[in-house]
Structure formats: structure tokens, C-alpha cells
Chain A
């Protein structure tokens, strides 16, 4: 294609310096190819709206992969089919830019089917130019999702069949089923009349983005004489006769007049108020303190907490860790996670330690807090000889097997029920354990409760539960 045609638009480079080879004047497209025509319409529209400087093109893989040879705008070349996703990332970083996506039919309707569908459905503020030439041009004439029934390509040597390849995809019709797109039109790059219509559609689609009116797409039926193996002069007729009956021209959706205009604003980088925004400000709640260990053996406990989902097992572990951290210990908390937690048993490993913690996993435990029978049966064997076993005697109706560990039977659920909610049985156990060992200062743990239990309404009951658990140990052991 001669340079004179391009020289008119400022949005084109004067010389195509990025192009490989000595010829920096003509495009790389074949004679009679539709891409050049569409490029020209886009460039002229960018000139007209004066938005070249803020335009960013996203180029596909296909014959138009080298679109950046020609457009004097920002240019991003991307993986096959992914242009709408890349454009999403660009437009959201620079809402004040004009992001143009250019894709062929293999790129958009084949490999990139999901990317275009989802970007359209999100109503991304981008403009997509979709070149439908019913074939894979760049790779040498293989079948495209838009290849016509019966059409011979290098991968449908006997012609495309409904049975084997299915029928062509009509992209604008498909997308018009979605709520979000505001303008979807099919045009054809053929005679002067259709070219004018195409020009108007290109203009309308770009204007929509300038005005911030959502997702627009123009599908252009475009000649690929090389892929079709026909003379450029015959390709117009071919489109009229073969393609247009299957791909009817015109707007399939146009609600631009009815949508609000929200032009994109720049997004400045803000870094203030991070402490508050990220919830990492120092807490104003009273902090838990260390207590006086009642036995040296209680130092650096490796704790397992186990029960069924809904008993607040993980929360009890977090409460230990949070208080331990506040008191100045090293702590770690490791949950059983995923499906393991659903319905069945939940357990977590907690370490509270003066020295730095190696493995956060608790294999042999110094302390087991068992809140139901399966947990007792499962984890009792792992308690270290001489360790502590706290169990909820309201729910566990069997005797522990071990006689070499200290067993504290706490009717935690009953105590909790008496307070008014079964849910705080976990905090009864917390009180019991702290009272027994002295690892933390009981009063401070009670006061610090709002730092580890966030539901305000339950705070008084949970505080009472800790106190009651401690009281039970004081009175019974």
C-alpha cells in the first residue's frame, strides 16, 4: 500500500522505521488486504478527535501483529487472544487514556473467546476492532471460527462441515446478548458505500470511549485475498455474496444515546494513611501480659487444639497466639485447612515460646485441648509423657487411655451454656489452661479480649467464660 494514503493521518508514522527490511514506506499487508483500510479509518478518527497522544493500541497475534509499525501512539503487542485482558490492565491503570484493541477472528473468536466475552461483559471502557476475514491469514490460510460452511482452507481441505467443525461464530450477535456492551456493529470493507458506513462506525466507537461510554466493538468483514486464494479484485464480491448473507451488516446493539458519559480520570498514586487503610495501626486495646509460670515444665508449650467445626477451635488457637504475641512471646499458629475443615474435625497447632520457633507444626504436643471425642481419640497418643490433656467433659463420654499425662476434665460446654451461649466453651478452656499453667496473666487476657474477638456483642460473655474456666480449675484441681 503506498505511503500517500497514510501520510494524511498524523496518527501514523511518516516512515515505518520499526518495519524490518529496507522498505520503510509500504505496509507489510498483501495487496487488497482489509487491514490497511481499517487502519486508515482509525488513524483519521484519532486525528479528528485529537486523542493520538493518549491512545494506546493493543495488538494481537495475526497479520496485524505489526500494527505498531504504523501507528504513532503507545503500542503494546500481546499474546494470541489475550488483547482484551491486557487492555483491561492498561485502561484501569490509565482510565484517561484511549485503549484500542485490534484482533483477528482467530485471535478474538478462537483462542481468545473467553477474554473478549468477559471484557465485554464487564463493560470495560475500551474499543475493539475485530477483523473478520473468515480465515487465519498469518499462519497461511487455516480455518477460523468464522470460516464459512463448505469453505476450503488448508485445515478443511474438503470444506468446513457442520458435523466436524460446526458453523461459523457470529461475534456481534453473540456479544449483543450481554447487558454491558453499548455499541456493537458489523461493517464490511468493500465498496465506497460500505466503506463510508465502516468509517462512521469506527468514529462512533472511538467517540464512545472518548466520552467514557463503555465497551464498543466494530466487526469488519475484511478481504484476505491471499488466504482465500482469489484475486484482490474479486474479493469484494466474495464478501458481498458469501459473507454478508451469513454475517448480516449493521448495528446489533447501540444504546450510546442512553448511557451516561463517564470520561476516565487519571489515578494518582496515593500512599498516605496506610496504617489505617491496611488495618495495621497499633491497637488501643489493653495488651495481654506474661504470667508467672506455675511449673517450669509449662514453658514453651506446643499446643494442639481440636474439636469439630463450629466450636471455635481455630479461634481459640488464634486467641492463644494473639495473647502470646502481645505478651512478648514468639508465637505461631497453623490450621488444618481446606476440605479437612468442612463439617468434620478442625484442629490447629499453636506454639508459644521464648526462643525462636522452628517448625510451626506440632507433632508431639505438650498440651492437648480436646473438645470432642474423635479429637481425643485421634490426638491423645501424641501428648508427651508428663504433658497436659484438657478435655471437654460435657461432650466426651469416654475415659482417656493415658495414665502418664495430667488430665483436666473441664465441663466447658456446660459452663458455657450456663453463661448463655455454647459458643464460648472455647474461652472456658482458655481460662482453664491459663489458670493451670500461668503462662499468661489471666486478668490481662480477659481485658485484651476485644483484640482477638471482634464481635462486640459477645465480648462480655466470652470474658466471663475465661474467668469461669479459670475458676473451675482453681476449685477442682
Chain B
């Protein structure tokens, strides 16, 4: 198939359909509306369902239904809508229902604004809904990855019977870049646990209730083990110019793109710095960060937030190396020169030390 120039939000929809997704339920919100709009166009063309739900609560529960019925399904929204979906996410996890949920994060809290931010990290990566659970979170930084990681999201979702989040930002959703589409999935995995329209399925129950404390503890333990397995198998990250680095910058999503430019600028000035980009936010790439700590001086974490992922970096390092943080919020996205300046400060601190 051809290389195509398109928006990240559109790439999500085409990727999802190629991955075998046949149901989209959503509610409009900027800057994620193009996902719903593209879904409205393409899902019916492939014999799938598109429905604009009455609310994000409605949408996530329709996904719960579609997933219970054994088909690949998804929803997408932006921060305020994701807050509303969180009840549903907890139920999806509890009932072990696979699906993909896309968050094109915008500025918050409250209505905030529609500009890019990463302030949903805690909400998505650390829980957001009630109860003990973890869900895989993938953070694309290009249009190609909006397609690829959405597709991967469906595979992970089915493999572990879990919702999977795609956490992107307004820029990654709105920008256009070339994308190469892979071949479509010819079929999707059979789900013998799903409820379905025939006698083979009438003993199936989709539920998240475990009245007996021991039963629930067993179920929670099963979910915990699943999360552990996901940590072992599904950790993803990218390294850039880290070979001889003395300083490491860490950022995900659109920030990692700007950091790349800033790293290049710094390298031109002879500053030995490289980038580590988490692609999966859960599981968090702890091992590579710990390994880097053995040979680098310090870390700089950059986020479009007041500092959320940085807590994971600090937990991972357990004080082994200094961690600096630089954040912008409100929809302000740092310029590459601004991040270069932050890297230069690391270098200066080294000289003073």
C-alpha cells in the first residue's frame, strides 16, 4: 500500500481498521474529533459500526458491550472525556475485556484548553479508575506510530485481555506526516470467552463481581500477575545518541521529537547528551534507565506537565543519579532552543561541580 500524508488522528483510524477493529464508539471533543470523524467515514465502509454516543460514559460502555461480544473495538477522546471514561475502564479491566482507548491529551485541569499537554499521565498510567489495576499505555510520537502503535495496541489488548491506552497529544494528532500502512489483518483472534449468538457461548459470563473476599483477592492477584507479565514482555523504548552520553534527557510523545532536535543542537556544541524515549509508559522502561545510571552523570526529564512521569524516573533511579525536571503546561510547547538551554545548564553544573 502507498505511503500517504495524513494527520495522526486519521492514521489512528486507518491503523485500527487494518488491525481488525470493527466498532468505534465516541463522543466529539477537540483535539480528538478527527478520530471520530474519520471513523464515521471508514468504519461503515468496512462493515463495521460507528456510533456517536450520548457521552463518553455511553461510549466506553458500548465498547464494553462490543468487547464482551468478542469483536475488536475502540474509543477515543481527549482529557475531560477520558475522565468520564474512567469508570468504564475500571470495569473493562475487572471483566478482562480487551479494547483500545485513545487519549489526545489537552490542557487541564477542568476545561483547560485544547492545546497539547501531557497532564493525563497520572490519570492514565497510574490508574484513574477505582481498584487495583494497571493498563498498558503506548505513547506515539509520529503519525507513523499513531498507526503502528494503535495496531500493536489491539494485539496487546487481546493477548492479555486488557484495555490498552494510546496516549498522544494535540500536536501528534493534528500534524501530518507520511505513513506507510501495513497489510490488513485477515482475521482476528477467536474469543471463546465472549458472549455470542449461539449455544456454544451460553455458559459465558462477563463480569467484574467477586463477592467472596478470597475470590476477589485471587482475581486481583491474577490481574497483578498479568501486569507483571506485561512488564516483562511489552516494555518499549527508543534510544538516541546515548552511546557516549554523559547526560540523558527523557521525554515521550511530541516532547521526544523536540528533545531530538535539542540533543542535535547540544551535540553540535560538543555536549555529550542523548535521549531515552519511553514508548510504553506502562510498562515503564525501568531497566534501560537503571543501566544508563551506571555510566551517565545525570538525567533531565521534560514533560508538558508539572512533573508526572518524572516521579517514575525518580522511583526507578532510587536516588542513584540527580534528576532535573523541566515542564511546560497550559498548551505551551517548549522550543528546541529552550530545551537546548536546559541541556546546557546540565553541562554547566558539571563544570561547576
Contacts and interface: CB of A to CB of B under 8 A. Distances in A.
B1 A89 contact: no
A339 B170 CA distance: 13
B196 A333 contact: no
A334 B206 contact: no
Contact of B20 (A117, A266, A271): A271
B68 to A, nearest CB: 5
A270 B337 CA distance: 49
A443 B213 CA distance: 74
Contacts of A322: 5
Interface residues of B, number: 84
Interface string A82-96: 100111111111101
Given A85-B53, A363-B336, A93 B71 contact: yes
Contact of B63 (A89, A267, A361): A89
Nearest to A355: B264
A434 interface: no
Given A53-B202, A321-B5, A338-B114, A358 B257 contact: yes
B329 interface: no
Interface string B94-133: 0100000000000000000011000000000000000000
Contacts of B14: 278, 280
Contacts of A37: none
Nearest to A268: B47
Given A89-B66, A269-B187, A20 B195 contact: no
A87 B61 CA distance: 9
Given A74-B195, A267-B47, A334 B174 contact: yes
A56 interface: yes
Given A76-B195, A361-B335, A271 B175 contact: no
B61 A68 contact: no
A158 interface: no
A66 B207 CA distance: 10
A338 B30 contact: yes
19 contacts: A53-B198, A54-B197, A56-B195, A65-B209, A68-B205, A72-B202, A74-B204, A76-B206, A82-B57, A85-B53, A85-B54, A89-B23, A89-B65, A90-B69, A269-B188, A275-B1, A339-B114, A360-B175, A363-B336
A366 B38 CA distance: 34
Interface string A293-325: 000000000000000000000000010011001
B46 A270 contact: yes
B62 A318 contact: no
Interface in A257-300: 266-271, 274-275, 277-278, 280-283
A75 interface: yes
A452 B67 CA distance: 38
Contacts of A266: 197
B184 A271 contact: yes
A75 B100 CA distance: 23
Interface string A115-137: 10110000000000000000000
A144 B176 CA distance: 51
B165 interface: no
B154 to A, nearest CB: 13
Nearest to A351: B177
Contacts of A52: 202
B260 A359 contact: yes
A94 B209 contact: no
Interface size class of A (residues with CB under 8 A): 35 or more
B231 interface: no
Contacts of A91: 65
A283 B2 CA distance: 7
A332 interface: yes
Contacts of B42: 277-278
B181 A89 contact: no
B328 to A, nearest CB: 12
A331 B4 CA distance: 11
Interface in A330-357: 330-335, 337-339, 357
B307 interface: no
Interface in B133-182: 170-171, 174-178, 181
A118 B53 CA distance: 8
B260 A89 contact: no
Interface string B1-34: 1111100000000100110101101000011000
B114 A278 contact: no
A303 to B, nearest CB: 14
B219 to A, nearest CB: 13
Contacts of B347: none
Contact of B5 (A77, A97, A325): A325
A90 B68 contact: yes
Nearest to B196: A94
Given A92-B62, A97-B196, A357-B177, 14 more contacts: A76-B68, A90-B69, A92-B23, A94-B196, A118-B54, A118-B58, A280-B1, A280-B181, A282-B1, A282-B2, A333-B5, A338-B115, A359-B261, A361-B333
A84 to B, nearest CB: 8
A85 B62 contact: yes
A303 B115 CA distance: 21
7 cross-chain pairs, A with B, having the tightest CB-CB distances, nearest first: A89-B65, A74-B195, A358-B261, A93-B69, A85-B61, A358-B260, A77-B207
Contacts of B235: none
Contacts of B294: none
Contacts of B31: 337-338
A111 to B, nearest CB: 10
Given A85-B65, A334-B174, A20 B257 contact: no
B351 interface: no
Contacts of A360: 171, 175, 177, 254, 257
